């Protein structure tokens, strides 16, 4: 049995993430926690996040979780979801400019208006831009559910694992060593989403 820690710093609906992980991994210990020690001792980390980037950074600081996130992101299988992808970057345009965790080099940018509805909300296609164990048994261009107004722009194109088009092509998944992070919500993306979570809990990292 392995332990999977879902980082709960009070931002957004982490219950959905917990229910989905428990569903795909019924024999593992799934912990919803803001305890740095429990996170540090877990075998795998899921790092979700919803709402605004400024509030998320504030909450991570208030819960004393910045250091443990930074170390875990380099040490064990680590899955970022939604804001949990954006927070890994250097800087976001949101909230008049917010610094992120600077684990990944790059910025978080607001979608251009282009007569499109913002937030980008709903089921869009995800194009695989690299082979990766987390795409196992998931078709190229399968649809995943997203809801976001900002997207990530990485400095290093070699970490892009998936892209989506919404007026522009943007990066919706990145992969680097033991890290994988997605803009969409696998916990809300039915069969393909559950497959991605299954791939994560089985991933060597």
Partner 1 sequence: MSLAKRIIPCLDVRDGRVVKGVQFVNIKDAGDPVEVAKRYDDEGADEITFLDITASHEGRDTTIHMVESIAEQVFIPLTVGGGIRKAQDVRVMLNAGADKVAVNSAAISNPDLINQLCERFGSQCIVIAIDAKKVSDSPLKWEIFTHGGRNTTGIDAVEWAVKMTQGDKGAGEVLLTSMDCDGVKTGFDLDLTRAVSDAVDVPVIASGGVGNLEHLSEGVLQGGADAVLAASIFHFGEYTVAEAKEAMQKNGIEVRL
> Which C-beta is closer to partner 1: that of 89 or that of 184?
184
User: Contact with partner 1 (CB under 8 A): which of 99, 102, 117, 155?
Assistant: 117
> Which C-beta is closer to partner 1: that of 41 or that of 190?
190
- 128 contacts partner 1 (rule: CB under 8 A): no
β-pairing, 78-81 with 44-47? parallel
- 74 contacts partner 1 (rule: CB under 8 A): no
- 182 contacts partner 1 (rule: CB under 8 A): no
Residue 156: CB minimum distance to partner 1, A: 26
99 to each of 55, 86, 89, 178, how far by Cα in Å? 11, 10, 8, 23
Q: Which two tokens stand for residue 184?
A: 């969409």
CB 134 within 8 A of CB 203: yes
Query: With 0-12 CB in 10 A as exposed, 13-18 as middle and 19+ as buried, what is 79?
Result: buried
Place of tokens 């070699």: 158
Residue 125: CB minimum distance to partner 1, A: 5
- 133 contacts partner 1 (rule: CB under 8 A): no
Q: Which residues bind partner 1 (CB under 8 A)?
A: 11-13, 15-16, 19-20, 23, 50-52, 55, 95, 113, 117-125, 141, 143, 145, 147-149, 165-166, 185, 187-190, 193-194
Active site residues: 82, 185, 187
């Amino acid at each position: 049995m392995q332990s999977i820690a879902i980082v709960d710093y009070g931002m957004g609906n982490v219950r959905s993430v917990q229910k989905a992980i428990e569903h795909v991994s019924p024999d593992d210990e799934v912990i919803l926690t803001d305890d740095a020690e429990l996170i540090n001792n877990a075998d795998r980390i899921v790092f979700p996040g919803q709402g605004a980037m400024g509030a998320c950074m504030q909450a991570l600081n208030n819960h004393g979780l910045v250091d443990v996130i930074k170390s875990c992101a380099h040490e064990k299988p680590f899955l970022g979801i939604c804001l949990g992808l954006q927070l890994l970057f250097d800087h976001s345009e949101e909230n008049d400019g917010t610094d992120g965790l600077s684990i990944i080099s790059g910025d978080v940018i607001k979608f251009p208006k282009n007569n499109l509805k913002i937030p980008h909300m709903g089921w869009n296609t995800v194009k695989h831009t690299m082979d990766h164990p987390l795409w196992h048994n998931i078709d190229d261009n399968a649809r995943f559910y997203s809801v976001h107004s900002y997207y990530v722009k990485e400095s290093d194109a070699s970490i892009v694992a998936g892209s989506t088009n919404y007026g522009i092509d943007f990066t919706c998944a990145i992969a680097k060593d033991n890290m994988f992070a997605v803009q969409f919500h696998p916990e809300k993306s039915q069969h393909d989403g559950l497959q991605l979570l299954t791939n994560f809990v089985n991933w060597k990292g």
